[in-house]
Amino acid sequence: MTEPRDTAVAPETPVPVVDDNGHLIVNIGPSHPSTHGVCRVLVELDGEIVVKAEPIIGHLHRGIEKMAENRTYLQVVPLTDRLDYVGSMYANWAYCRAVERLAGIRVPERAEYIRVIVCELQRIASHMMAIGPAGADTGATSAFMYTFWQREMVVDLFEALCGARLTYNYVRPGGVASDLPDGWIERCRAFIAQHPAAMLEIDRFLFGNVIFRARTKGIGVLDAADAVAWGATGPVARGSGMSWDLRRDDPYSVYPRFDFDVPVGSRGDAYDRARVRVYEAVESCRIIGQALDGLAEFKPGDIMAEAMPRLLAPPPGDAYDHIESARGSLGVYLVSDGSVRPYRMKVRSPAFCNLALLPLLAEGHTLSDLVVILGSLDPVFGEVDR
Amino acid sequence: MNLNELREHLCATYPDLCPLFSVEFGDGVMQVASSGLHSAAADMKALGFDMLGMVTAVDFGEDFELIYRLRSREMRVGMIVRTRVPRGNPSVASVTDLWPAANWHEREVYDLFGITFEGHPDLRRILLPDDWVGHPLRKDYEDPGVIRRPDYL
């Protein structure tokens, strides 16, 4: 005879929640493929139309800012890898720039060139992770395979460079962890030689696809004034025609030496936000090519600042520095009390600011468009929740 | 308008603020009293600081320091506005009416530091669960799971 089933653990039949206006309340996520991570979106639906969409975040909150207060400056670098795990190099670099500013460290030029190269490669890898799923959100799964093939090549380059495929821990305070291995420059040149053609192909078969256009054009329109007021940065702001790129408008590192364009959209819809990323990836190839040419001028092995102490203890004070990551302005604010640990670290995460736009953009669209809009903001929840 | 002209303008507008205005890491930095934060922020916005980059706080024991980082696209300069609020009554006026971007930033500071923002439309916890006890980024926050690493590491 079988035991009677314990009703306390039996799965309950979900009861639809309907509010006073007759609107259906739906929870999407936190573990749902269309949320691109662990985001819960509390949606109020009138039929199929979104009346209100509220992102509920924090499911991936690990307290990295608090953990940093209990680690030395060098030990924080691996923590920054775990912020934006699709673009770890950026968080490494932004953090290292803040530390260097705080401690007054001068980075050798060869290391700056290598940083630019790896971060532009990272931008390509990260944008592939945005464009492919943008297609997948609308049912065009083949684009995913093509962009991931490109991303795979970048990740292979990173693996050859530092042994890791996702969390690199490569950019360190004072320079980078290691010089480029033998044959890496040639492999990198081979990658950037074929990448623009691959992007052109994506542009034709995904952005020219009639279904993709119908699903993304005019969806989630963000006008430039709202982009400014809500602090949107990166491709989300540039898709709305706000021409703002820290590499050009607040130049850092060796970017002023390179010739590149900042692509902007005009309509501010999901289509423009995704397409801006395609052209940014092509511009990144231009920057990488120029940086690889410039690298020859510097002595190999000169990749770390001189007289770097083993235990960094910057003088008391604070520093803020920011870079243009694949998602926008990524800033790190550090406060030192003179000890070997940061007194306070704050990460100004672009994905966090961009995600705040979701309620504004999703209102009035259908539930299936909500998925497209969320994907077009390209949030990475490691960085949103920190 | 560059930072020097901005400084002259601010000295003319706020004579008592001028000794507190400085330029650090490429940004203008000004320190205001917490009661005057909202009016100073409104003036900054009128001067062309159209973007609010971040709002954050630092626990300095007796009081909290709040940091607002503003950015002007036209002038291409950043501005950091600092203010201090006492630990006993950590409260300041919200700037969400000036920059909607402040909404989530202020919620985060409320969540992690317990600083309240008067006039905020929706002041709830954002990263931590609603029933969380305490504010983790305060220095006196005790968590038994955290082991203080020895100083030689």
Give the residue ranges of DSSP H helices in A163-234: 184-205, 210-216, 224-229
At residue A252, the pLDDT reads 85
- Residue-averaged pLDDT of chain B: 82
pLDDT for A69 equals 87
Q: Is residue B41 in some structural domain? A: yes
DSSP letter at A25 equals E
Instruction: Check if B36 contacts A (Cβ < 8 Å).
Output: no
More confident of the two residues B147 and B67 = B67
Strand B77-86 and strand B27-33: the pairing is parallel
Q: Which residues of A touch B (CB under 8 A)?
A: 57-58, 61, 63, 65-66, 70-72, 75, 101, 228-231, 244, 249-250, 318-322, 329, 331, 333, 335, 340, 343-344, 346, 348, 352-353, 356, 385-386
Furthest-apart CA pair in chain A: how many Å? 82
Residue B149 lies in a domain: no
The range of the structural domain enclosing residue B76 comes to 3-118
pLDDT of residue A122: 92
| CATH (domain of B51) | 3.30.460.80
Query: Is residue B37 situated within a structural domain?
Result: yes
Phi, psi (rounded to 5 degrees) for A112? -65, -40
Distance from the B77 Cα atom to the nearest Cα atom in chain A, whole angstroms? 8
Tell me the average pLDDT across B4-13: 73
B128·A385 Cβ contact <8 A: no
Name which of A344, A357, A361 to mutate to probe chain B: the one with the most chain B Cβ atoms within 10 A of its Cβ.
A344
Q: Are A329 and A349 in contact (CB under 8 A)?
A: no
Return the sign of the alpha-carbon dihedral for residues A87, A250, A199, A134: positive
User: Is-contact A303 A72, C-beta < 8 A?
Assistant: no
Q: Please name the member of A66, A331, A343 whose beta carbon is closest to the beta carbon of B53.
A: A331
Q: Does B67 touch chain A (CB under 8 A)?
A: yes
Does B146 reach chain A within 8 Å, measured CB to CB? yes
Residue A279 and residue A263: Cα distance in Å, rounded? 6
- Domains along the sequence of chain A with CATH: 64-350 (1.10.645.10)
* pLDDT tier for residue B26 given thresholds of 50, 70 and 90: low
CA distance B94 to chain A (A): 15
Residues in contact with A129: Cβ distance below 8 Å, sequence separation at least 6, in sequence order:
A86, A147, A151, A378
- Rounded CA separation A184/B98 (Å): 49
Averaged over B7-23, what is the pLDDT?
Answer: 66
The answer to whether B148 faces chain A, any CB pair under 8 Å, is yes
A230 neighbourhood in chain B, CB within 8 Å:
99-101
pLDDT given for residue B2 in this prediction: 66
Is pLDDT above 70 for B153?
no
Give Cα separations from A106 to A99, A248, A257, A311 (angstroms).
Answer: 11, 22, 18, 17
Mean local confidence (pLDDT), B53-79? 87
pLDDT of residue A17: 80
Burial A84-100 (b: 16+ CB within 10 A, else e): bbbbbbbbbbbbbbbbb
B111 → chain A, closest CA residue: A58
Q: Å from B7 to nearest chain A CA?
A: 20
Tell which of B49, B71, B139, B147 to mutate to test the A interface (max A CBs under 10 Å).
Answer: B71
Q: Which of A97, A101, A318, A345 to mutate to test the interface with B (most CBs of B within 10 A)?
A: A318
Closest-CA distance, B57 to chain A, in angstroms, reads: 9
- CB pairs below 8 Å between A and B: how many? 80
Would an 8 Å CB–CB cutoff place B56 in contact with chain A? yes
Query: What is the rounded average pLDDT of the residues B59-65?
Result: 89
Q: Is the residue at B141 inside a domain?
A: no
Q: Is residue B134 part of a domain?
A: no
Please indicate, yes or no, if residue B130 is contained in any of the structural domains.
no
Q: Which of A230, A335, A386 sits opposite B101 (nearest CB)?
A: A230
DSSP summary character for residue A8 = T
Selecting from A319, A329, A385 the residue whose C-beta is nearest the C-beta of B25 gives A319
Does any domain span residue B125?
no
Report the pLDDT value the prediction gives residue A116, as an integer from 0 to 100.
92
C-alpha B132/C-alpha B146 separation (Å) is 17
Per-residue pLDDT of chain A (386 residues; tens, 9 = 90+): 455 555 555 556 666 788 788 888 888 878 777 777 788 888 988 888 999 898 988 888 988 998 888 888 888 999 999 988 888 999 999 999 999 988 888 899 899 999 999 999 999 999 998 898 888 888 888 888 889 999 999 999 999 998 888 889 899 998 888 888 988 999 999 999 999 999 998 888 888 889 888 889 888 898 888 888 898 999 999 999 888 888 888 888 888 889 999 999 888 899 999 999 999 999 999 999 999 998 888 888 888 888 888 888 888 988 888 899 988 899 999 999 888 889 999 999 999 999 999 999 988 899 888 888 988 888 888 889 88
Cβ–Cβ of A320/B69 closer than 8 Å? yes
The answer to which of A308-322, B26-40, B56-70 has the lowest mean pLDDT is B26-40
Q: What pLDDT score was predicted for residue B151? A: 65
Res B133: pLDDT: 86
The confidence score (pLDDT) of residue A152 equals 92
Amino acid A12: pLDDT: 64
Cβ-contact A97, A332 below 8 angstroms:
yes
pTM of the model: 0.88
Do A340 and B151 lie within an 8 Å CB cutoff?
Answer: yes
Kindly state the DSSP code that residue A35 receives in the 8-state scheme.
Answer: G
Tokens of A309: 């102490």
The structural domain count of chain B equals 1
Amino acid at the residue A246:
L
Q: Give the residue on B whose Cα is nearest the Cα of A321.
A: B25
What's the CA gap between A34 and A383, in Å, rounded? 18
With CB atoms and an 8 Å threshold, state whether B58 touches A344: yes
> For residue B57, is it within any domain?
yes
Helix (H, G, I), strand (E, B) or coil at A121: helix
Residues in A closer than 8 angstroms to B2, CB to CB, are none
At B24, the pLDDT band (50, 70, 90 cuts) reads low
Q: What is the predicted pLDDT for the residue at A313?
A: 86
> Which residues 92-131 of chain B have a CB within 8 Å of chain A?
99-101, 103-104, 108, 112, 125-129
Does B100 contact A230 at a Cβ distance shorter than 8 Å?
yes
Specify burial of residue A127 (Cβ count, 10 A radius: 0-12, 13-18, 19+). buried
Torsional class of A378: left (φ above 0), alpha (ψ -120 to 50), beta (otherwise): left
3-state SS, residue A17: strand
Q: Which residues of A touch B50 (CB under 8 A)?
A: 228-229
Predicted confidence at residue A15, as pLDDT, reads: 67
Say what the pLDDT of residue B22 is. Answer: 59
